[in-house]
Structure 1
Amino acid sequence: MGPPHIPAMPMDERVTDAAHGGTPPAQSATTFSRLRAALRGTGSMAAVLGVAVLLVLGAGEWATRDELDTQWDNLRRSGEVQALALRGVATRYSYLPFTAAQQPLVAALLRDPDSRSVRDAANTYLQTVNAHAGSDTLYVMDANGLTLASSNWNTPSSFVDQNYSNRPYFRDALQGLAGRFYGVGKTTGEPGLFASAPVYDDGKVIGVVAVKVQMQPIVDTWAQLRDPVFLADERGILFLGSVAPWLYKTTRPLSAQDVLQVQHDEQYGARWAPQPVPWQVRQRDDQPGVELKLPSSGKNYLAFEEPLPDLGWTLTLTADSKVVAQARQQAWVLATLASGLLVLGALYWQLRERRLQENRQARIELEQRVLERTHALQQAQAFRQSMEDSLLVGMRARDLEGRIVYVNAAMCDMVGYSADELIGCLPPYPYWHPDDLDRHWNDSDTALAGKAAPQGNENRLRHRNGSDVYTMFYTAQLIDGDGKHIGWMSSVVDITAQKRAEEQQQQREAQLQRVQRVITVGEMASTLAHELNQPLAALVNYAAAARSLAAQGKTELLNDSLTALSAQALRAADIVGRIRRWVRQHPEAREPCDLNAAVDQSLDLLLRAEARRHGVVVRLDLAQASLQVHADRVLLEQVVLNLGLNALQAMQAMQTAAKALHTATHPQELLLRTTTDAGQASLQVLDRGPGLPPEIAERLFEPFFTTRSDGLGLGLNICRSIVESMGGELLARNREGGGAIFEIRLPQAPTP
């Protein structure tokens, strides 16, 4: 069954009269008016075609801009995630050199490097610490850069007796700074991130402790991405990335001084020489990034830079720009379909107007008009057939029984069968997918019953060559010229490329989730190590007391110490479980608890004993009524205990400084106060210490920031995270008259 016939205006209006040998005057006037109407119709069609062309071009431009915005947004979000992961890896082991530098054994080795027993002990210590920390290599250098001890002392690539005095991280640590440096190892030839810290003896730097960390896990993650990702140092040299041939090449010209400095430091190997990256940069003024053009492969990439100023690096993420071209082409296809429908509508309107004009013509012209109209109809039919064959959207017509009566060329190309093979077929059709037969039967029966969804149905077809084709079917009634329902017409759109793009997007999201899980595990480990410190210290004290009481034969006191020791062990296990649930964000860890009771429990645990040891008076100003809050009781007690110990240490440090300067200080007092206001329960820890200078107050809650030489800088950061997980906030400010105030605010729970 072919497409329905469409009547058209005759192409020529040559009417002759054999009797008169010419054209009658009335017929000449009629012919002139019809010719003028035809010219007006031609102008209207030109306008419609012009609008159709503008629609196609505008759709392509809009799709291009929309896809560019989407790609830049994806790159920006990926850059934030990757930057977070890089910072986590770069700072994960920064504490290790500082911690090892505090070990007396390291200072003893630097003071007496010729002692074999000290050196062996230092090697064993570094090997043990390195194995537990999971870093690559931990080693100690003297003031001349010579390695005295290393965690890999017993391996063929040992750092012992190697000199690294030309490395920047050694020079920075020798100046009393924390060093960080990425480069190729002089001994192993393997690249890595180096972090260093100075070793002091009587206020003088006598050596350097350094750690080497492999960043290969980051590269392995990048290698799974479809498009290149790379990292450049402050000089613009690529030193980490998913494309190995690009490593250690320069993104911009280097000065002679920079080249000499890199070669002197042997940062990228002893034979490194500057070579430019193999791409050309095209700046986009209206875009947040640039375009990289690779002449060797012919590929173009959108490149987005994420600066990491705290590390001195620049992260660049790319996306293949061909997806933009694909979006533009898809928009052109859809716009062409819409334009085709517009042209068909305009043709129908024009032909209808012409038919009305023809009905008004005199009966004398009827025979001639029929002949000429037949000729025009043939031309219109040929035009419409050509237009349908040029469409990229498949068309399929079926009769009321489901027999295929018409398919266009696009439909045949979509399924790999010719029109002769498809016309006349009843369900099941040869292109139905064998794994989806039940769904195909259901969709076919629904469509033939006139219940097809107006938004279309998605179907998976099987191409003749065996490949899968994903399509959208849109079905409407097929009406003949008499207005009778004779079947169903379906338009079929190939969405295979769109499905592939959705699968790739799901893969990228899964990769981002894996990176986020790695970051979460690191935070959990830091939190657990810090929170277990206090119950473990109490365990040690109770164990020492029990040993002493056992030696003295004081059985009753011994039983009390053992009972307290067991309670602290259970408390440590409780902390582990609750921190694990907190990190996983399990809300069931919260329960109604009394804020005043949490203060009393913290005093009984350790705070009151520590206050007596420091000579500090503890004063309580608690609310008369019970202050009920929804919180994790054990974690809340840990926060109160941590804040109280910090206050005692601050006052002790101030008292020591005052004695050295022979100056007077405020009376040593620790005040714990609970209040309630507007549905908020508040606990304030007030001390008479040195207070919070502005430069310290700004960084107070940053991880690994501390003013104590023996601190890790995790306590306040963990305390704030715990309070915020309970729906509250932790604030800090200076106290009037000297000292500091740390305040916990939590939503007040209804009193049971």
Structure 2
Amino acid sequence: MMLASIFRSLSWRHLWRWGLLALVVGLSIILMGHWAERRELQIKTEALQQVAQANALGIRGIAEKHGYLPYAAARHPDVQSLLLNPSDSLLSKKVNQYFSDLKDRTESAALFVMSSNGMTLAASNWNSTDSFVGQSYQQRPYFKEALQGRRGFFYGVGLTTGTPGFFIAEPVLNQSQVIGVIAVKVSLSALENSWVNSADPVVLQDNRGIVFLSSEPEWLYRSSDHLSSGDLAWLKLNGQYGMRSHYDILPWRVTRVPGSPTYEFQATVKHKQRSFLALEASLPELAWTLTVTSDLKSVQRARQEALALTTLLAAVLLLAGLYWRLHEQRFVEQLQAKRELEQRVKERTYDLEEAHAFRKAMEDALLVGMRARDPEGRIIYVNRAFCEMVGYSAEELLGCKAPYPYWHPDDLDKYMRQREASLQAESLPHGFESRVRHHDGHDVITQVYTAPLIDRQGRQQGWMSSVVDITAQKIAENRQHEQERQLQRSARLASVGEMASTLAHELNQPLMALSNFAVAARAIAGQAKRELLVTVLEDIVEQSQRASEIVKRVRVFINPQRGSYEDCDVHAVIAHSLTLLKPELQRNLTIVNTQLTENLPHIRGNRVLLEQVLINLLQNAMQATQDLPPARHVIDIETTLLERAILIQIGDRGPGVPEASQEQVFNPFFSTKPDGLGLGLNICRTIVEAHGGHLKVANRKDGGAVFSFTLAFSV
């Protein structure tokens, strides 16, 4: 009942202010959801970059681990002698045994040597049924590259065994002449098996975009794009992936954003439709591309939580303002409820920022302090950075057992628990935060990472800890949090003050009109003037209907979801906006020139919101010329039919917008007016984009600015 009485008392003349307030609330909700979504995407992107780096290091490690084998074997005297004397059976037997022993020690799949014509002379699998000996591999790309004096890399299906593998080839030189080629075959099945157990898919593609390793078997030997006839001919000639004659396209529905290191795609994984965020990492030395992914469910959940939280906050703020205006005696109670809600929001925001800051600190911090302890916990090594951090010399620390002199007196129990966990191999790999007491008495906040200290025989000799001073970072975080809290509080107070002043102005005129009509009706009733009484009563009914329309509009402003989209005539929307602004246009002696294209198609949109955009832009144009001579009090409105949209331009003859500020004017809280909130143009852009259009500003050659936006028309 209270809200209904408030809405009935609003005036049509100031309805746009309520619209602006509702749009501010709606924009805040949208921005918060967008911020939460972008923040979660940023976290996932950083995590994907770490995963990609770790997998890339693993792949490079495999290449580096086995890359030395052909290089070393190529310099073995027996290998070179066999290439110079290929018919020597004794040399062939010695090299076969040498390759077999070397293969067992290095865990490679196979090792073999070929003459300059590609014929295999010796191999580690010489005594197996699928031996490489006697086989020719001169058509293989890795053989051709090594024969030209370069190291060759190649992944493909073996011509003899039919099993895929990674081939590394090295030329065998004799007096700077290539006399043969040595190659090692490495199986990547262990790497692929580790990916299968991953929660999110991982794939590896060659330089043609063909997936040759994947955690999802159904993606194997599929291509990210159609292959040319030349590529298909090359693949068939070299038998890289067996006898396949075609390669299907990956079943991914990819969405890319220009300038972003990541992209999104949808795919069916284990019979379920899922959405992923993907990051590609190039391995140029191998001509491969590694793609790591992460599920997007958490991004959608973060956006939904932010939208729900912001909507709740906006609703509480609006109700608090209404209650403050009409029920001052309950203001304290409502204010307390609002503060409690703000406290919960602040705590939630603080937890999220704290978790993100802690994670960022672990990733970016430089570990400078080093401390080693023996199995009994006695300090056996400290570096200079650690000594400077705690204020004690190495002589004072070496040989010390717990409790250590730099332990904070208030945290002794905590230190003992951490020490026991560390000595029992329970320390977490990401470390823990610890407060220590410097020798001069001040506190130092540190981050500690502990790992086992292993000797050459593989025996544990103690523990090595890396300690990072994060005191300055903690102080900076606290200062930033305090500044953000003050900024949020100022914004909330400004919104409440604006709402209160608007209510005071809007409610007065309709209430006074209804009161005057009622007094007049009572006086006329006593004079028995029936016709005049009917006229006054009709005026009262008209005012009531007017209040009812105001209620409908305000409900749309308060909750934009209640607004409906309908077919709209753009020229009718422009005409109604000019009618609403007619008193202001006349008061400012402003002339409106229109150049409207005839027979424009209807657009699908919300008439109230579109009128609000036009009213806002027209008022900005009037304000731009109000201090100029009357001859420049002119506004030009033009409509143009484009291919799939209608272009609307509103130009003035004012001073224009500086180029440096042409993009900033659409940012929230940016205003060139002394008393402006800086939200009008930002809200206008949001409404236009919600209708599938785009709002921009430019300066006119003859002076002034022109704001233009597009609206997609219905088909």
TM-score (norm 1): 0.42
Of structures 1 and 2, the one with the larger relative CO (CA 8 A, separation 6+) is 2
Computing the radius of gyration over CA atoms, which structure comes out larger, 1 or 2? 1
TM-score (norm 2): 0.44
